Structure 1
Amino acid sequence: MFRRRRRREQPEPVVEQEPAPPMRESGPWDADEPHPDNDRIDLGGLRLPHNPDFDVRLASVGDQHVGVVVLYDESSLQLQALAAPRSMDLWDEIRTKIAGQAGHLQEQEGPFGTELSGEMRVDGGSRPARYIGIDGPRWFLLAVISGKAAVDDATAEAFHEFIKDVVVVRGDEPMAREEPIPLRRPNDPSRQETAERSRFNPYKRGPEISEIR
């Protein structure tokens, strides 16, 4: 008996799938959700929009980079990403904490929801400031706008657009509630640098920033 040879099955061509479109109009984005593939500065826990008009600086606590400061047009934007529980948001609680520490702040509605605005104490004086909190999946992003942008809509809009394109990379490792999501220098993912260390307080502006280029 002769058996007919089976034809070898041809492998199906691999079709590259295009990234899924974003579900929302703007961020901040979670790294695991669809988001625009724009040019960003990769700092590990945060990926920041690349804008040559902004001076981006890294802030550290001891050996760990925990936040960034963005300088633009006589204004500053401080960003810090914190770990959050899966089952609850943090902004209501943190907002109450900030109001108790900073003082002279009032709630108002902004492009990211309820925020705090008023004066922040700095170097024996005061400076106009806005505190913005954004709850994400297992992370919380605190943004503090101070200086001209806290009272000037045109300058503030540049910071708003910056925040809307930030990507938060929470990672899968266990972290304590409100623990800062660690950052790194963009061109050196493995080495923790010891130069230019300083203390970083997300509620206060001061000389605690270490500069990166």
Structure 2
Amino acid sequence: MFSRKRGGPKHVRATDAPPSAALAQSLAADDEPVAPERGPWDQRWAPEGVQRLDLGSLLIPAIEGVEVRVQANPDGAVEQIVLVDGDSALQLGVFAAPRSEGIWDEVRAEIAAAMKADGVAPREVPGPYGVELTARVNTPEGPADVRFVGVDGPRWMVRALYQGAAAADRGREGALGEVLSGLVVIRDQEARPVREALPLRLPKEMTEQAAAAQQEQGANGRQA
């Protein structure tokens, strides 16, 4: 569902959305770039004075009531980020992209094709970041709404997947919408293949909590 096509020209359709604000600003020639009106923010435009959870390439604003669930491998590299607020969830991913062009149009088309192959009927709808992709999918718990949002930035792309109430109704994004618009992407200078996931790590707070829990578990084991 998310692999880079090799070879062949990139086809541009008349219905393709224009570059996101972050990407458009990065392409400004000669003049000093001006920060876009809303995030996700490239590091250079990140507003100051905001408390954020540091996951390496992605900084997540700390918003009251939003639970952050992070799945990591034994080495501490983050494999999945899901934020939960009531009956809505937001899954986040951040990927390498070219500086001069966005990749969300191409990625969105591939997600739609994969859905159709599974018998799902996705729809393209306009949104504040450009064209979004919505669908109702079958899950073990029954039918569920999903909504994909993509934001192209300078040398990065954020892919957001809304689930639950916020997927069915954009007006119910609430705090999760604030999280998405407040994200900060830190793109390192390393050359990376297009669509490679940018490196993420467990936040210091979570690492310390896990170490404390492991220490406590070991102490209880010795006392038993």
TM-score, structure 1 as length reference: 0.72
Alpha-carbon distance, 1:148 to partner? 1.2
Deviations 1:124-158 (A, max 9, x none): 73210110000000000000001111123442133
CA contact (8 A) 2:125 2:132 kept: yes
Q: How big is each residue's C-alpha offset from its partner over 1:67-120, in whole Å with a ceiling of 9 and x where there is no partner?
A: 310011111100000011222211011001110112321000112111001213
Which whole-Å CA distance do the structure 2 matches of 1:178 and 1:58 have between them? Answer: 21
1:118 aligns with 2:131: no
Matches within 5 A, 1:6-25: 23-25=35-37
User: Residue 50 of structure 2 corresponds to which residue in structure 1?
Assistant: 38
Change (3 A) 1:75 1:188: closer
Query: Does the residue aligned with 1:78 lie in a helix, a strand or coil?
Result: strand
SS of 2:131's partner is: strand
Equivalent residue pairs, number: 173
**Are 2:152 and 1:132 equivalent residues in the alignment?**
no
CA distance in 2, matches of 1:189, 1:73: 22
Which protein shows a greater Rg?
A: 1
- Within the candidate set 76, 80, 83, 1:67 is matched to 80
- Unaligned runs of 5+ residues in structure 1 are 1-21, 194-213
Question: Matched residue of 2:174: which SS?
Answer: helix
Stretches (4+) displaced over 6 A: 188-191
More helix by share: 2
Aligned to 1:96: 109
CA contact (8 A) 1:67 1:183 kept: no
Q: Secondary structure at the match of 1:32?
A: helix
Shift of 1:189: 10
Distance 1:66 1:177 in 2: 18
CA gap 1:128/1:171 in 2 versus in 1, 3 angstroms: same
Q: CA deviation at 1:62?
A: 7.1
- Structure with the higher strand share, 1 or 2: 1
Partner of 2:185: 168
Q: Distance in 1 between matches of 2:113 and 2:48?
A: 37
Tell me the SS of whatever aligns to 1:35. Answer: coil
CA apart distance, 1:59: 3.0
Structure 2: distance between partners of 1:28 and 1:72: 19
CA RMSD of aligned residues (A): 2.6
Q: Deviations over 1:21-76 (max 9, x none)?
A: x7222110011235343111111111001013011011346743143100111111
Distance 2:46 2:167 in 1: 31
TM-score (structure 2 length as normaliser)? 0.69
C-alpha change, 1:110 and 1:104, in structure 2 (3 Å) is: same
> Partner letter of residue 145 of structure 1?
Y
Q: Extract unaligned runs of 5+ from structure 2.
A: 1-33, 211-224
Tell me the residue number matched to 2:98.
85
Matched, 1:108 2:125: yes
Q: Which amino acid aligns with 1:65?
A: V
Same amino acid, percent of matched pairs: 35
Residue 119 of structure 1 aligns to a residue whose secondary structure is: strand
Would the aligned equivalents of 1:73 and 1:155 in 2 still touch at CA under 8 Å? no
